[in-house]
Amino acid sequence: MRNGVESGLYQELARLIRLGVQDGWAAEAKVAGPRYCRSQIGASREERYFFSITAVLMDTTDNTQNNPEGSFRGG
């Protein structure tokens, strides 16, 4: 996969967003307490082909939802 989790682009974006979370400007809006936060860090714009960018922080430690795929489905 060209831009999957192993790509340099993904790794750099992940690093920058982690720094943003630490600095308090990314994923600062609490949706379901401190374990599920998000924020829009780039509005939809023509030069981004009308894509927006949203940072999401989900701490799925101790996930007790028992979803078949093991995922966490928010609040």
Question: What pLDDT shows up at residue 74?
Answer: 58
Per-residue pLDDT of the chain (75 residues; tens, 9 = 90+): 677 888 898 889 889 888 998 898 888 888 887 788 899 988 999 988 898 888 888 777 776 666 666 665 655
Pairing relation of β-strands 29-30 and 36-42?
antiparallel
pTM of the model: 0.59
H or E element, residue 53: strand 53-58
How many angstroms separate the CA atoms of 1 and 13, rounded? 16
pLDDT at 66: 64
Q: What string of H, E and C letters represents the secondary structure of 6-45?
A: CCHHHHHHHHHHHHHHHHCCCCCEECECECEEEEEEECCC
